[in-house]
Amino acid sequence: MPDSTRFLKPEVVAKLKGIDLKARLVVEGFLAGLHRSPYKGFSVEFTEHRPYMPGDEPKRIDWKVYAKTDRFVVREYEEETNLRAYLVLDASGSMSYATGKVSKLEYASMLAASLAYLLLHQKDSAGLITFSDKIDTYVPPRSTPAHLNALLHQLSIVKPGGDTNIAGTFHQLAERVKRRGLVIIMSDLWDEPQAVLTALRHFRHKKHEVLVFHIQDPNERGFAFRTPVVLKDMETGREMTVDPRVLREQYQKDFDRFFATFERGCREAAIDYHRVTTDMPFDRALFSYLERRSRMR
C-alpha cells in the first residue's frame, strides 16, 4: 500500500498541481495516520465514526477504516452543522518569504485548504478571509460540499502583496463577523505585538474561539547567513546591508522575545497559539486543530 503520509511533508505537497489535490492528499494522509498517533480517540470523534455494536446494520460498517485499522466502526451522520469556522489568511508581502521550497504563504494556503477539507468533511461550515493591509477577500461560511470548490479556488489565486496592517484588519473582522464561531488565523504576525494581541482579544470579546498558527520560515529564527548580506523589506522595498556575525546574537534574542510575547498574551486571553515553520509536516498543525475541536465539543 502506498505511504500516503508522505503527503504531510510540505516540500512533497508543493510539487503537486492543483490545491484541491493537495488538500485531499494531505487530509487522506492525515486520517490514515490517526490510528497510529498518540492522540487516542480523535479518529473516532473526528471522522464521525463509532464502534460497531451488535444490532447495527452491516451496510453501515466503514470497510475502508476496517482495512486500515482492523476495527469495525459505523458511520454517524449529524443533521445540524456543528461549527462555524473562519479561515483567516495573511497575504501581505512578508508572507512571500522563503529560504526553502515553500513560502510562508504557500504553506499557509495549503494548511487553510486542508482545514477547509476537514471542516466540510465533518459537516461543519467554513469561510475564508484573506488580507494584507485590508480585507482582500471575504467568503462567508457555508457547509455544502460545493462550497469547498469556492474556497479552494480563492486559495489557488491568492498572491502576496501589500503592507501589513494585522491589528487594524483584525479589529475590522471582529466587528464584521457577527455569528460566533472558531476563528483560525494563519499569519507571520509581523506587526506590533501588543497591538495584535489587543485585536485578538477583540475576537474573544465577541465570544469567538480563536486558534492562531504563527507561521515562520526556519531561517527567520536561525538567521543562518554567514557573510555580509543585503536584507530587503518585502513590503516596503527598503534595503539594508548587515553583517550577520555582528547581529545574530541580539537578533535571536529579539526574535525569541517576539514569540514569547505572543505565547504569553495568547495564553492569558485563552487563545490557542501554535508556532509553525514551513518545514513542519502538516499533521502537527492539523493535530492542533483537532485538540481545539475536541475541547469545543
pLDDT at 145: 85
Q: Where are the domains of the chain?
A: 4-75, 84-296
Q: What are the tens digits of pLDDT across the range 261-284?
A: 999 999 999 999 999 999 999 998
Q: How are beta strands 209-216 and 182-187 bridged, if at all?
A: parallel
Radius of gyration of the chain (CA): 20
Q: How are beta strands 272-277 and 182-187 bridged, if at all?
A: unpaired
Q: How are beta strands 73-75 and 49-51 bridged, if at all?
A: antiparallel
Over residues 213-226, mean pLDDT: 83
Distance CA 265, CA 150 (A): 34
Q: What are the tens digits of pLDDT across the range 199-215?
A: 999 999 999 999 999 99
pLDDT at 164: 83
Angle at 124 between CA 152 and CA 168, to 5 degrees: 65
Q: Which helix (H) or strand (E) holds 209?
A: strand 209-216
Distance CA 160, CA 157 (A): 10
Distance CA 170, CA 201 (A): 10
How confident is residue 234, by pLDDT bands cut at 50, 70 and 90? low
Cell of 238: 527598503
Q: What percent of the chain has pLDDT over 90?
A: 55
pLDDT at 7: 83
pTM: 0.81
Q: Helices 282-296 and 19-34 meet at what angle, rounded to 10?
A: 70
* CATH number for the domain formed by residue range(s) 84-296: 3.40.50.410
Q: What percent of the chain has pLDDT over 70?
A: 82
pLDDT at 222: 72
Q: What are the tens digits of pLDDT across the range 66-105?
A: 787 888 877 665 444 478 999 999 999 999 999 888 999 9
How confident is residue 59, by pLDDT bands cut at 50, 70 and 90? confident
Q: What are the tens digits of pLDDT across the range 131-181?
A: 999 999 999 999 998 999 999 999 999 999 888 899 999 999 999 998 899
Distances in Å between the alpha carbon of 119 and those of 112, 134, 175, 201?
10, 26, 24, 24
How confident is residue 291, by pLDDT bands cut at 50, 70 and 90? confident
Over residues 230-248, mean pLDDT: 69
User: Average per-residue pLDDT in the chain?
Assistant: 85
Q: How are beta strands 239-242 and 182-187 bridged, if at all?
A: unpaired
Distance CA 221, CA 258 (A): 11
Cell of 210: 480563536
Answer whether residue 38 shows pLDDT above 60: no
CB 26 within 8 A of CB 7: yes
Answer whether residue 45 shows pLDDT above 50: no
